[in-house]
Every structure is written in C-alpha cells, then in structure tokens.
Amino acid sequence: MAIVSSGSPAPRNPLVAPEAVPQDEPILREDSLRPRRLADYIGQSELKQVLGIAIAATRSREEALDHVLLYGPPGLGKTTMALVLAEELGVRCRITSAPALERPRDIVGLLVNLQPRELLFIDEIHRLNRVAEEILYPAMEDFRLDLTVGKGTTARTRSLPIAPFTLVGATTRAGSLSSPLRDRFGLIQRLEFYGLADLQAIVQRAAGLLQLELEPAAAQEVARRCRGTPRIANRLLRRVRDVAAVGGHGQVSAELVHQALSLHRVDGRGLDASDRRLLQLLQDGYGGGPVGLDTLAAGLGEDPATLEAVVEPFLLQQGLLQRTPRGRVITEAGRAHLLAALPEAA
C-alpha cells in the first residue's frame, strides 16, 4: 500500500493558493486588475443584486449603508466588493484585518477617525478578540464607544459618539463568528465559486488590462484551472504572460496556457500537488475514507483549520471529496481525477 503522507509536506504552490500570499504584497498588486464599479464586477449575481438595491436605497436616504458580512472561500472578491461599495457610495474604505487589532486602542483608533458614512473593512473578522468585539457592539448598533477610564474603584464608563459608518466584515468561517457579532450585520452574503463563463470573462478582462492577446480557448483554459477563484485566475494569467513574453508569442493559445501551467504543476482542473496528495492519502492510506479531518491534516502536515477553510472547499465543490458524519471520503470523480492527472502531475 503506498502511503503518501510520510516525510514533510511539499510547501503549497503559492500560484494556486487561494489565500493572499506575501508575493501579492503590497495588497494592492492585485489592485490594477480589480473592478472598481459594480457594473464591472463579473459574476456573484445575487450578491450584486442585493448590494445594488442596498446602495441605491442608502444613497437616497443619505445614510450609512447597513453593516455587511461577506463570507466564503478566499480569493472570491470580498475585499474587492468592499472597495466597490465604497466607490459606489463615494466614500473612503479603511482596510484592516482582525489579527492587526490586538490591543483595544487599535480598533478604537480606527473607529474615532472614521468620517460619516465611511466603510471599515475588517478581514478575517472571525479572529477578532473578545475585547475588540465588545468595543464593536455599541459602535455598530448606536455609533457609540463605551470606554472605561481610570482603574479599580475609580473606573468609570464614558460614552463617546462616533460617526455613522458601515462595517464590512469578511470571513472564510462564518460559523466561527459569535452570534452577538453576526446578529449586528444587516446584510449577510455568501460568495460562491465562479462558474466557467464568468471566469472566462474575468480572464479576458484582465488580459485586456495587461495588454495580453488571448484566444478565447486560452481564456477558457485559464478559467478551467483557477479553482473557481479570480485571484488565482489573475495569478495564472501573469505566469502565462511571462511564458508568452519569453517565447515571443503574440497571441496566446490554449496550448501555450497548457504548457505554462503544467510547468507550475497545476493540473487540468486547477489542482496542485498538495490537493492531489490529499486525495491520494485518502485513497491509498485510508482506502478512500471515511477519515477524520485531524487525522488527514496530521498525515499531510497541514493545520486542520486551513485544510477545512482553504483546501477542502474547492475539492468539495468539484465533487472530488465528500464530508460525511464519519469523516472525509474520496468520490468516484476524485479517484478518476487521480488516475487522469497522474501523467501530467507526478
């Protein structure tokens, strides 16, 4: 029996890591390709419809937009949507993430400096600490900070008004949010993996911005390999552009995309070596499952939370993996993919 879990795992291929990776920094390397207006944002039609109505109503009432919680796998456009909302409302968007709000003064500093109707975007909001969360409750509900001044017996609570603002929270783990925090969002929206046609349109739009000529079949090939995720599509496209530039290709063909992405071990369905290791471990190490998340994570040398929130969603959505009450199970499609992917992926 071939056990694939021995030794330390190969690092995840950053090209197909759905989370933002350091090479994307400053965050805004992706910026040149981000849509700025709702009309340019491709896909997520239900989300756009809901937010479009909320924007129009908010504008006509001249109020701050209700607080918005965006959840779903990484790379699907939560930050982009926050920036689009700000643009549509004609206000600034302050961007931060929960791990950066360690001390009470971090969040207080942001809140007191907000101008009326501005957006505050907090990424990974499920990681907010208890104190920061409790500062947020009256801020979200009544635009008020309840601050404790002094210590011990002389401690007093002071209320400080702040400008009406909109909190846009983003999370890959909506279930990890405390219910008092979740209940304070007026709009809670899930971002879905993108379909092929939308991805193809996103790739063509990005290619235009990068001044790269892509044949439609080439755009489709990138769309097929990007795990339903625009962030990955744009990263793959940059690698294709490199290969096209070095080879002196004018128009990029599907064959060139295939060559460029095979070089990075991204298979025809967008899976990288670590996705295939997961499926292979399930198949060879555990007879296809069921096997518990922690056991699987230990075998792969991955953190269980990352495996669950970042790696698994796409495999589940593709029907290559199933979650059952007794653990993870490889599907027939998963087995078939391992067989088909072998020659190009080994």
Q: Applying CB under 6 A, which residues contact ligand ADE?
A: 33-35, 40-43, 77, 80, 202, 205, 230
Q: What is the DSSP letter of 286?
A: S
* CA 137 – CA 107 distance, rounded (Å): 12
Report, in Å, the least distance between residue 81 CB and ligand ADE.
Answer: 8
12, 34, 79, 235: the catalytic one is 79
Looking at the Cβ atoms of 35 and 270, the one nearer to ligand ADE is 35
* CA 38 – CA 167 distance, rounded (Å): 19
Q: Which two tokens stand for residue 190?
A: 């899930």
Report, in Å, the least distance between residue 35 CB and ligand ADE.
Answer: 4
Report, in Å, the least distance between residue 33 CB and ligand ADE.
Answer: 5
In the residue annotation, 235 being an active-site residue is answered as: no
Looking at the Cβ atoms of 43 and 72, the one nearer to ligand ADE is 43
In the residue annotation, 172 being an active-site residue is answered as: yes
* CA 328 – CA 293 distance, rounded (Å): 7
In the residue annotation, 48 being an active-site residue is answered as: no
Q: Which two tokens stand for residue 300?
A: 């792969």
Q: What is the DSSP letter of 252?
A: E
Report, in Å, the least distance between residue 339 CB and ligand ADE.
Answer: 33
φ, ψ of residue 44 to 5 degrees: the values are 50, 50
**Partners of 158 in the β-ladder:** 147
Looking at the Cβ atoms of 34 and 117, the one nearer to ligand ADE is 34
Residue 6 CB: number of other CB atoms within 10 A?
Answer: 8
Looking at the Cβ atoms of 165 and 314, the one nearer to ligand ADE is 314
* DSSP per-residue letters across 233-249: HHHHHHHHHHHHHHHT-
Active site (catalytic) residues:
78-79, 123, 172, 231
